[in-house]
Amino acid sequence: MQASIVVTTANAHRFDPAARSRATAFVVALLVLWPLLVWSQFHPALLFETRNLAAIAQFLGGFLPPDMSVEFLRHVMRSTIETVAIATAGMSLAFLIAVPLTVANTRALSIARIGPGPGWRMSRVLHVISRGLLVSLRGMPELVWALVFVRALGLGPAAGVLALAITYGGMLAKVYAEILESADTEAARVLLQAGSGRTLALVYGLLPVAASEIVSYTVYRWECALRASVVMGFVGAGGLGQLMDQSMKMMNGAEAATILVVFLLLVLVADAVSAALRRGLA
């Protein structure tokens, strides 16, 4: 028995003890991913067959040149404002939903974990419940919520705002909680140990450490909300999406191209805002 222990420790010094588990993980990943590619009918060679290339070229050719007529641009302008409004209003509501859920959810602010102290079991139960709530909020795609709300509220932006608020609220809370947990939580723990409450430990101890991560994720989500609002527009939730849906249905590629250019500009703006905010918080 003792001899075998000696041998193992000697081996552990000669070989990297982590090598075997790493190799196993690599092989397992390959074994899982390969069948997934097969099932998803992924045949990249098809893309380059002349027949298919011609079809793509014909489709994209219809997009050029973009439609720059004043009348259409006026439509685009109005829809752009609507899209930005949907995304921003949806994100603001999502943020309001996410903040209390984050404070309730993140382990970085758990007072009962110190010790562990009184109410430890209760806090575990609440943690599981709030995690479940987050999953149910973000589990359903926003498109489905949009369909539901379009039925309830009729065609228009309000349905998109509500759909975004619900799914993005769940996503924001989950990722915020995880950003806070992976930040340096020492400063917040020390405050909790000096009798501070969760929210105050968050704003005095955790936000100063994690603010730039939080901001960059929030702005990125706003960018995603812009894209999502377009997709929801296709089911009647207003904005650029609804306009694009009309253009596509009328096979008007030029109009679609204009809308895509506007889209690119919006994403560029989001990127610039994010960079500026992060610089300010550095």
User: Given the rule CB under 8 A, which residues bind other proteins?
Assistant: 111-112, 114-119, 184, 186-187, 189-191, 193-197, 199-201, 203-205, 208-209, 211, 281
User: Which residue type is seen at 6?
Assistant: V
Closer residue to other proteins in complex, CB, 216/246: 216
Closer residue to other proteins in complex, CB, 12/190: 190
Least separation in angstroms between residue 200's CB and other proteins is 5
Q: What is the DSSP letter of 105?
A: H
Q: What is the DSSP letter of 194?
A: T
Q: Residue 114's closest CA among 201, 189, 194?
A: 189
Q: Residue 240's closest CA among 232, 249, 230, 231?
A: 230
Least separation in angstroms between residue 117's CB and other proteins is 6
Closer residue to other proteins in complex, CB, 202/224: 202
Closer residue to other proteins in complex, CB, 73/209: 209
Are 96 and 168 a contacting pair, CB within 8 Å? no
Alpha-helix runs per DSSP H in the chain? 2-14, 19-39, 50-61, 70-105, 120-139, 142-153, 157-182, 186-193, 198-201, 207-233, 239-249, 253-281
Closer residue to other proteins in complex, CB, 112/158: 112
Least separation in angstroms between residue 201's CB and other proteins is 8
Least separation in angstroms between residue 231's CB and other proteins is 37
Least separation in angstroms between residue 282's CB and other proteins is 8
